Amino acid sequence: MINNKLALLNGPKHIKKRFKKYKSIGIEEKKAALKVLNKGVLSDFLGEKDIKFYGGEQVQRFERYIEKYFNVKHAITTNSWTSGLVAAVGAIGIEPGDEVIVTTWTMCATATAILHWNAIPVFADIKEDTYTIDPKSIEKNISKYTKAIMAVDIFGHSADMDEINKIAKKYKLKVISDTAQAPGVYYKNSYAGTLADIGGFSLNCHKHINTGEGGILITNNDKYAERLRLIRNHAEAVVSDNINNYTPNMLGHNFRLGEIESAIGIEQFKKLKSKVKRRQQIANLLSKELKKLKGIQTPIIKKNCSHAFYIYAIKIDESIIGVKKDLIFKALQAEGIENILDNYFNLHLLPIFQKKFAYGTKGFPWKYSFVKREVSYKKGICPTAEMLNKKKLILLELCVHEYSNKDVMLVIDCFKKVWKNLDNLKKFS
């Protein structure tokens, strides 16, 4: 039975326990890791012209597994998805001063990967229904310096790849798909991440499946695949002086994934479908009850698409509820809901873009001669994203906890309790 007095108004907190931390690692992963440890080879890469330039036994095994899983020609592992994004931007041949259009709603690495190559991020707005990059905003932001689009499958729903690829074809642009938050979901008849020139996934510790840290790049383009492998493993050390072998962006790195992580990765991917299915069950239970409350819009899933629910996004209508979003958020938080957020990244408003200092103190790269025009990051360039953060968005980080159905009902009860007390909140405000 719900005690009706809000915790924010000195009533009892409804959720009095900490939810179990999400954990995807089981006995299978432990056995796989131990097998590698017993063999004693933790990495088998060589940064030279050798068969081992492409990695050891487990790396190769993992990459072949991914290729088969997603039905793609090439899978290239990296030691993080941030590394993967840097490699992807380099592989498509981005030059200093080129512009790459990217959504303002994403983790910062998606945009800073562009800066790594001294190219310029141009931020597009998002769609209000799926929160993914808005194709209309993409086209509006294209200039003669635009060379690529970076789409992000935010929260677990795919971006509108048909429209994005149509725009890319029209303007002769490359497309990178950041599917970090949406592994294993579908866009029509294809896996998200497979419909771009280069796509990929994160294996970070709080993703659906993980290797601690790690990333996976996928592509059907042989040239891009080879460039990705070069950037991953000290490119400049293995390319001969023969001009025919030259490829741009030859400043390579150590982005290599280890043998233990790769062995764990295979076992994790065997669990991906079940992990996503469970997240969908949680979301369905939340939506079934929360949509009954006035002024709430639960997540939308587009026709012929699926959703991984890395984050469960709720929109509230202040005009219907009669209470400001900020106060609703505080009331829910006070009831004991953990890992609830009232905003997401608006990357264009971060200091690095407001001040335009990526390297050093002299405004590099924006203020240098290879940048041909002024790109604005002023407040207001992404009105939908900014409005959602200010007035409508409440997020539940489903990625953090191992929710039982009972836990989900506790969260739902918190919402019901707050909504029952909307009149009291109006007085409080």
pLDDT tens sequence across 318-334: 999 999 999 999 999 99
- CATH numbers and ranges of domains, the chain: 27-271 (3.40.640.10)
Centre a 10 Å sphere on the Cβ of residue 287 and count the other Cβ atoms it contains: 18
The residue to which tokens 């959720």 are assigned: 15
Percent of the chain with pLDDT over 70: 97
The residue to which tokens 């994203």 are assigned: 385
Whole-number average pLDDT of the chain: 95
Do 218 and 72 form a contact (C-beta atoms < 8 A)?
A: yes
**pLDDT score, position 245:** 60
Structure tokens at 366: 């924006």
CA-CA distance, 351 to 356, in Å (whole number)? 8
The separation between CA 265 and the C-alpha centre of its own chain, rounded to angstroms, equals 18
Do 154 and 103 form a contact (C-beta atoms < 8 A)?
A: yes
334-365 as b/e: b if 16+ CB within 10 A: bbbbeebebbbbbbbbeebbeebebeeeeeeb
**pLDDT score, position 237:** 84
Do 238 and 53 form a contact (C-beta atoms < 8 A)?
A: yes
Q: How confident is the model at residue 429 (pLDDT cuts 50, 70, 90)?
A: low
- DSSP H or E stretch at residue 124: strand 120-124
Each residue of 238-266: pLDDT tens digit?
A: 876 555 566 677 789 999 999 999 999 99
Each residue of 149-177: pLDDT tens digit?
A: 999 999 999 999 999 999 999 999 999 99
Closest by Cα among 412, 425, 424 to 14: 412
Which segments of 287-331 are extended strands (E)? 296-297, 312-316
Q: Is 172 left (phi over 0), alpha (psi -120 to 50) or beta?
A: left
Residue type present at position 350: L
Q: How confident is the model at residue 426 (pLDDT cuts 50, 70, 90)?
A: confident
